[in-house]
Structure formats: structure tokens, C-alpha cells
């Protein structure tokens, strides 16, 4: 197995302290938003044998296993991250596989450079993802029931929000949600900026359920995404709890440290809380206008102490082992590729001692045992 040396991405919304604290190093004073573990070409993990991309390209079947290669192709189909949000991320959705392929082919046909700021589809893959909290973790996930969203907006006492409140009382619910999100994103920018300013002042004054939106508005003054965010469920995860974000589900992470895993894709359509391109027609084509609760996941017990976060997709499977002092070694050998990540304590796997934030890549079929006292997350595929 290979110890991984991983890149930390300095996105502006990143916490300046959370990842350094996990790693036990001094903060640099700069944001440290995500640590990437995997074979994404944008920031592949490094090993003693070269980058993980180079290692896998040299012998895909040896590293990934014949079954995984047959199912997903000669590449690692997931990307594992530690994510540290010190400020809200953009409000966004991801396409399903058919939409991603169609959108990618269309933009390729039209000759839009992959690096262009107005390009929506960087690749032809979908991007389901799972976030598991390591600390208390705040996020937005999926639409509230329209009447609940109407009550929240109405409670602000802002006259310019009344048309949205009225729209949310219409039927059917999916049409009401579509109409109000469309109206928010296509409103006159100056009028919307005034509405957001009034709403932000009311949120600050009222506090309670409105406090998260006051904070969002502080980071994104005048952004229509502040009002769009109030259509969504606010959820606070406790350590060990998780959210699964499937295709078309609007979401945003607000604050906290977590382990994130996703299909290996860059496809994001933004709804707001960003200076980046917002393609409203394409966004409305992708969003699933379905109300429901956020669907907090808790791990399910499996044999040998493994706790699995069950999801409906095959590109990734995330689980964890919480090992008390004196635990006998657990055999983690598997016919699929794995990344093992320590997030607490100190654990040994093979010749490697892992402390928080350290990880290894385990090729398919290679003997892997873990022992010690700590928490280990295991990322692999269903194949």
C-alpha cells in the first residue's frame, strides 16, 4: 500500500484553522478548504511511486482490480476529501449521468473551452456526493415544504418578498417551487440587492431560525442566493452524521469540518452565493423541485465493527471503524481499491502509522489490516 501526500486547496471559503488543527500543524493564516485524496487530475495524491494517476495508469487492473475496471473504466471512480468550511459555499446542484453526458457533448460541439468561466460541464460524469461530519456541521439540503418556506419569508416582514410568499401558496408544490426560484434568479439585480439587504437586516434582528441566513448574507451581500437559500432545509449534523446529495438536489455547506466523498467529476451548476457564472435556464432543467426533509444518514453496523454509510450509487462506498484501545486487528482486504483515512487517534495499517489527516491507498486485493486506537474512514467502490 502507498502512503498518500495530499494537496490542500486554498479556496476563499475555507477555514484557516480546522485542517491544521486536525493535522496537528500550525495554521498559515490562509484559508485551507479541502484536502484531496485520490486520482483527480486537478490535484492527484502523490506516492513514492509517482502520482496516484501515474500509478493507476501504469497498471489499472493491478491497482483497481479487473471487476472495478470493467464497471468504471481504468480510473479511480471516486474522490475523497477533508472539507473545512469557514464560510458558506455556493448554492449548487449536480446533474445526473444522462444530463452530464448530454451537457458535456453539447458544450464540446459548440467549442466552449473546458476552462471557460461560463462552461457548465467539465466532464461527462455525474457527481453524487456524501458529507460526513467530524465536527458540528451546518448545511442546506433539499427544498422545504413550500408552506414552511412561505412562513419563513413572511416572518421577515419585507414587503418585496410578498410575491414569493404568494407563489409558494400555489399548487402543485413542484410548480410553486419552480416559479419562485425562477422569479428570485431572474429578478432585477438592483431590486434584488435591496430585498436581500432588507431581509438580511430582519434576519439579524430576529435571530433563531433566521441566524444562518444572516450569516450567509454577511458573506454574500445582495446575492439572490440568500433568498433562494431560505427555500431549503437547514440542517446541523452532529459528528458521525452525514448527508447524501444526489442529482438535482440543491445544497450548500455553511460551516464545519467533514469527510466528503464523491464521484470523480467537476460538474456543478450554481444557484447563487457565488461570483461565478449562474446559467439559470440550464439550472432549472437540472433542479429536482421536490420538497422533503434533509435525510440525515447515520452509519449502519456491518460485520467486524465496520459502520457503513449506505447510498444508492456504486462509484463510492464510505464506512468507518471506531477502534477502542486494545482492539484486535481488523482485516480490511478487499477486491476493490481503497483509501484509508485516519481522523482521530493513531492506527497502524501495514508498515504505516496513521495519525489524524493521514491516509494510504490500498490496491485491489492487497492485504490490509488496521489496528490501534482511533477512527479510520474507508473509501472504496461497489463492484
State the Cα–Cα distance between residues 270 and 380, nearest whole angstrom.
28
Known active-site residue 270 = yes
φ/ψ of residue 40, rounded to 5: -75, 130
DSSP assignments along 88-108, one per residue: PPPEEE---HHHHHHHHHHHH
Neighbour-count burial for 329-350, b at 16+ CB within 10 Å, e otherwise: ebebebebbbbbbbbbbebebb
DSSP assignments along 11-39, one per residue: -TTBBSSHHHHHHT----SS-B-EEEEE-
Angle (CA) 201 203 209, round 5°: 175
Check 270, 317, 320, 378 and give the catalytic one.
270
Calculate the alpha carbon distances from 171 to 177, 178, 180, 248 in Å. 9, 11, 12, 21
Task: Give me the active site residues, please.
Answer: 270
Amino acid at each position: 500500500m502507498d502512503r498518500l501526500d495530499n494537496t490542500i486547496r486554498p479556496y476563499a471559503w475555507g477555514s484557516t484553522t480546522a485542517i491544521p488543527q486536525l493535522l496537528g500543524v500550525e495554521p498559515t493564516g490562509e484559508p485551507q478548504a479541502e484536502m484531496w485524496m485520490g486520482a483527480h487530475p486537478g490535484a492527484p495524491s502523490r506516492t513514492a511511486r509517482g502520482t496516484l494517476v501515474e500509478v493507476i495508469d501504469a497498471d489499472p487492473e493491478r491497482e483497481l482490480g479487473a471487476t472495478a475496471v470493467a464497471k468504471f473504466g481504468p480510473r479511480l471512480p471516486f474522490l475523497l476529501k477533508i472539507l473545512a468550511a469557514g464560510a458558506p459555499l455556493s448554492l449548487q446542484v449536480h446533474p445526473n449521468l444522462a444530463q452530464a453526458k448530454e451537457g458535456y457533448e453539447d458544450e464540446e460541439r459548440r467549442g466552449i473551452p473546458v476552462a471557460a468561466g461560463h462552461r457548465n460541464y467539465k466532464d461527462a460524469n455525474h457527481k453524487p456526493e456524501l458529507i460526513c461530519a467530524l465536527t458540528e456541521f451546518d448545511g442546506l439540503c433539499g427544498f422545504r415544504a413550500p408552506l414552511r418556506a412561505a412562513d419563513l419569508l413572511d416572518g421577515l416582514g419585507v414587503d418585496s418578498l410578498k410575491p414569493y410568499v404568494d407563489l409558494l401558496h400555489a399548487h402543485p408544490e413542484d410548480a410553486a417551487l419552480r416559479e419562485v426560484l425562477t422569479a428570485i434568479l431572474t429578478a432585477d439585480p438592483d431590486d434584488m440587492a435591496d430585498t436581500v439587504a432588507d431581509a438580511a437586516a430582519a434576519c439579524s434582528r430576529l435571530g433563531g431560525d433566521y441566524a444562518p441566513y444572516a450569516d450567509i448574507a454577511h458573506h454574500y451581500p445582495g446575492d439572490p442566493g440568500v433568498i433562494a437559500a431560505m427555500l431549503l432545509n437547514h440542517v446541523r449534523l452532529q459528528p458521525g452524521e452525514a448527508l447524501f446529495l444526489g442529482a438535482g438536489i440543491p445544497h450548500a455547506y455553511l460551516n464545519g469540518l467533514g469527510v466528503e466523498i464523491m464521484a470523480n467529476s467537476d460538474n456543478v451548476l450554481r444557484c447563487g452565493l457565488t461570483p461565478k457564472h449562474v446559467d439559470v435556464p440550464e439550472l432549472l432543467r437540472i433542479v429536482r423541485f421536490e420538497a422533503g426533509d434533509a435525510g440525515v444518514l447515520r452509519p449502519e453496523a456491518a460485520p467486524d465493527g465496520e459502520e457503513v454509510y449506505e447510498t444508492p450509487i456504486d462509484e463510492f462506498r464510505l464506512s468507518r471503524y471506531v477502534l477502542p484501545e486494545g482492539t484486535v486487528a481488523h482485516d480490511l482486504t478487499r477486491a476493490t481499491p481503497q483509501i484509508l483515512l485516519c481522523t482521530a487517534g493513531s492506527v497502524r495499517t501495514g508498515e504505516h502509522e496513521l495519525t489524524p489527516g493521514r491516509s494510504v491507498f490500498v490496491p485491489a486485493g492487497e492485504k490490509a489490516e488496521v489496528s490501534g486506537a482511533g477512527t479510520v474512514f474507508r473509501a472504496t467502490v461497489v463492484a
